[in-house]
Amino acid sequence: MAQLKCENLSLGYDGTEILSGLSFEVNRGDYLCIVGENGSGKTTLMKTILGLRQPLSGKVVFGDGLKKNSIGYLPQQTDVQKDFPASVWEIVLSGCQGGMGLRPFYNKEDKKLALENIEKMRLSDLKKRCYRELSGGQQQRVLLARALCATGDILLLDEPVAGLDPKVTAEMYEIISSLNRDYNTTIIMISHDIQAALRYAGKILHIGDRVFFGTKEEYLESEASQSFGKGGA
């Protein structure tokens, strides 16, 4: 059974529909890239999958043992975070929050998990450092480690390389790929970078005027890629 299934979704806000009749499914270990023009509803789709907003119609179904609150999420950075006084350790640990329910404090397992993910993201040296003093790439790795504390099953990434320089961007893609390859983590990523999407992803979801969902080989032959590819992406 699919880990995540979207059935006939319609998305929009304030009563305006921006996307309708969207259906696709994601299986364990998939690497799906969501591409499309600005304003086509990529982030809205992701927020709907996460349950942060309600679809206008249709539904999102979880399967294959995936629970609603065991989704890892790497959001775009907010203004608040830019001058937030918090150590790397505190932020990564806060990823364990979802599974805690009303329990007020972190236990040994939470701390162990946080430590593992800090090592996995090669952040051990920065553990005590202040988040706002890190470079963009390091900050993204911190947020990724936090997302991994929430789950190792499925990660949703909203433009994880926005604002990073080419070298760090490549590193970031490599880390994400290795999570997918080595730990069988399902990846759903929003990207502006169509070249990278085609290089790393297994499946493509293109939304906008034309909707496409399929493997990247199929995508390359489809019409959706033609119109988007010429757009200078």
Partner 1 sequence: MAEIITKVTTYLSYPFVQYALIVGVLIALCSSLLGVTLVLKRFSFIGDGLSHVAFGAMAIAAVLKLTNNMPLVLVITIICAVLLLRTGQNTKIKGDASIAMISVGALALGYLLMHVFEPSNNLSGDVCSTLFGSTSILTLSQLDVWLCIILSIIVVAVFILFYNKIFAVTFDENFARATGTRAGLYNLLIAVVIAVIIVLAMNLVGSLLISALVIFPALSAMRIFKSFKSVTICSAVLSVVCSLAGILISVACETPVGSTIVAVDIIVFFVFMILGKILTFKK
Burial string for 147-165 (b: 16+ CB within 10 Å, else e) reads bbbbbbbbbbbbbbbeebe
Q: Is 12 in the site for partner 1 (CB under 8 A)?
A: no
CA separation for the pair 139, 163 (Å, rounded): 11
Residue the block writes with tokens 């701390």:
111
Strands 154-158 and 57-62: unpaired
Q: Give the count of residues interacting with partner 1 (CB under 8 A).
A: 41
CB atoms within 10 A of CB 99: 16
Beta bridge partners of 157: 74, 189
Candidates 15, 105, 182, 230: give the one binding partner 1 (CB under 8 A). Answer: 105
Q: Per CB under 8 A, which region of 19-27, 31-39, 70-78, 186-194 contacts partner 1?
A: 70-78
Cα-to-chain-centroid distance, residue 88 = 20
Q: Per CB under 8 A, which region of 28-36, 150-158, 196-204, 212-220 contacts partner 1?
A: 150-158
Q: Per CB under 8 A, which region of 116-124, 147-155, 175-183, 185-193 contacts partner 1?
A: 147-155
Candidates 42, 47, 120, 206: give the one binding partner 1 (CB under 8 A). Answer: 47
Query: Minimum distance between the CB of residue 146 and partner 1, rounded to whole angstroms?
Result: 7
What is the torsional sign of CA 77, 78, 79, 80? negative
Candidates 20, 94, 177, 222: give the one binding partner 1 (CB under 8 A). Answer: 94
Q: Per CB under 8 A, which region of 125-133, 169-177, 181-189, 221-229 contacts partner 1?
A: 125-133
Query: Minimum distance between the CB of residue 77 and partner 1, rounded to whole angstroms?
Result: 9
Q: Is 81 in the site for partner 1 (CB under 8 A)?
A: yes
Non-local (6+) Cβ contacts of 130 within 8 A are: 85, 86, 87
Strands 186-190 and 154-158: parallel
Q: Would you state the structure tokens that stand for residue 35, as one six-digit string?
A: 């591409």
CA separation for the pair 105, 97 (Å, rounded): 9
CB atoms within 10 A of CB 3: 21
Q: Is 208 in the site for partner 1 (CB under 8 A)?
A: no
| Residue number, 52 or 220, with CB nearest to partner 1 | 52
Candidates 130, 165, 170, 223: give the one binding partner 1 (CB under 8 A). Answer: 130
Q: Is 73 in the site for partner 1 (CB under 8 A)?
A: yes
Residues within window 156-195 making contact with partner 1, judged by CB under 8 A? 156
Q: Return residues touching partner 1 (CB under 8 A).
A: 47, 50-52, 68-73, 75, 78-81, 83-87, 89-91, 94-95, 97-100, 104-106, 128-130, 133, 146-147, 150-151, 156
